Structure 1
Amino acid sequence: MPRHIDRILGQAAIPDTVTDDELDDLKQEIVRDVTAALMFGAQPAPQGHHPTRMESADTSLKALSCHLLRSGQAAEHLAGIADDPVDIDGALHFGCLLSLAMKPEGALWWWQYAAGAGNATAAYCLHLFHLRRGELRDADHWMRQALDLDFDILHAHHRTRPNRPRAPQAATLRQAVERLKVEEVCGEFHHPDQQLADQIEELAAPC
């Protein structure tokens, strides 16, 4: 946080009813709002419409997921996670596919798995995931995790601010996902396979 903000807050007349914890929460809110303004403030929008932070986070998460699935390494990463469940880049990409297929809980699990293993991009996906749900504390937590893992926010900001991402048809992706092997472990737990890796270029084409 810039030092002058701390100085202003420190000099402000705070009523005795405000606790130190409440003041810390206020400072965190300022940091959150500044971050949101830097990341989403100039997002293009239809005339007369001003996107909320949740809408902007949703757009950014879809754009980042599309960007990753359209990358030249997407098929390789998905094949990797199909062969080896500890392939962290594969977990990140599979989480993105599940998110676009409207399988949020599955996406959440795979992103948490990848982020827990040190993948900064997965941590950033979790930040956007929780921000679009309005879960600000969780969103803040994962942003800090991404920063601790040296995530490049400016580079990600450039990649996640399209005019409007042309996301793959959710129904098509859902159909591809629903034929996968599923285990009922705290919800649906999908296992990626080689066929999905072979199809990813076609599935991600509409992005």
Structure 2
Amino acid sequence: MIAADTVTGADLDVLHREIVRDVTATLMFGARPASEGHYPSALTGAEAVLNALSAELIHSSKAAERLACIADVPSDADGALYFACLLNLAQESDSALWWWRFAVGAGNATAAYCLHLHHLLRGADHWAHQALDTDVHLTPTTTPTPIHCPTHPAPALREAVERLKVEELAQALFHHPDHRLADQVEHLADAR
């Protein structure tokens, strides 16, 4: 992963133009799956990047600490980011979306990038601007080995998320974090 301090303004301008081009093409022509043997579409790429970023954060050494913090302090923006990524990997996208939005509102740029990727899947680029315009650096992540990012959540991860307290807010499910999840995150992150 590129360190946040090595990206220049010109790099961001190029990235922004590519994002706008991809979003415009998707809005005009719709999402088209890539034919076999060709590169994946921008939409497939966004989903892969979002899942890989979520997996990388959940595999990080800070995951248990951040999940424990959000269980104790529901206003912790970094904990909200990690919890949203865990929910994303468990395929609870509505709840993940809520927690990413909360983290963005508290100034977390990595959550803004996650929202951008999430919304890119739906043809919007608002969160890209939020991520690029913020004064906060993206959360640095370093992983010495590649992370396995499954296409389907592990049964253990799904079961752990299903045990969470859930309530409906504005016609969407809202998952509450708890300490059991923080205690199990290493096991859940590696479950297949």
TM-score tier by shorter-chain length is 0.7 to 0.9
Match of 2:180 among 179, 190, 195: 195
Corresponding residue of 2:30:
none
AA paired with 2:190? A
Aligned to 1:131: 120
Which stretches in structure 2 are left out of the alignment for 5+ residues? 1-8, 11-15, 24-33
Q: Runs (4+) of structure 1 moved beyond 2 Å?
A: 28-31, 150-153, 162-172
Gaps of 5+ in 1: 3-27, 36-44
Give the residue type in structure 2 aligned to 1:192. Answer: P
Q: 1:93 deviation in Å?
A: 0.5
Instruction: Show the counterpart of 1:18.
Output: none
Q: Corresponding residue for 1:102?
A: 91
Any idea what SS the aligned residue of 1:165 has? coil
Deviation sequence 1:3-61 (CA, Å, 0-9, x none): xxxxxxxxxxxxxxxxxxxxxxxxx87662389xxxxxxxxx99713201110000000
Determine whether 1:185 maps to 2:169. yes
Matched, 1:77 2:45: no
User: Compared with structure 1, are the counterparts of its residues 88 and 167 closer, same or farther at alpha carbon in structure 2 (3 Å cutoff)?
Assistant: farther
User: Structure 1 residues 86, 30: closer, same or farther in 2, change over 3 A?
Assistant: closer
* Aligned-residue offset at 1:166: 3.7
Counterpart of 2:3 in structure 1 is: none
- What is the CA–CA distance in structure 2 between the aligned matches of 1:33 and 1:152, rounded to whole Å? 25
TM-score by length of 1: 0.69
1:179 shift after superposition: 0.6
Q: How far, CA to CA, are the matches of 1:164 and 1:191 in structure 2?
A: 26
User: Quick one: structure 1 residues 30 and 129, their matched pair in 2 at CA, closer, same or farther if it must change by over 3 Å?
Assistant: closer
Cα RMSD for the two superposed structures: 3.2
Q: Which residue of 1 aligns with 2:109?
A: 120
More helix by share: 1
Quote the Cα distance in structure 1 between the aligned partners of 2:161 and 2:180.
Answer: 11
Match of 1:32 in 2: 20
Specify whether residues 164 and 59 from structure 1 end up closer, same or farther in structure 2 by C-alpha distance, changes over 3 A only: farther
Alpha-carbon distance, 1:147 to partner: 1.1
Given the two structures, how large is their TM-score scaled by the length of structure 2?
Answer: 0.74
Q: Which letter maps to 1:165?
A: C
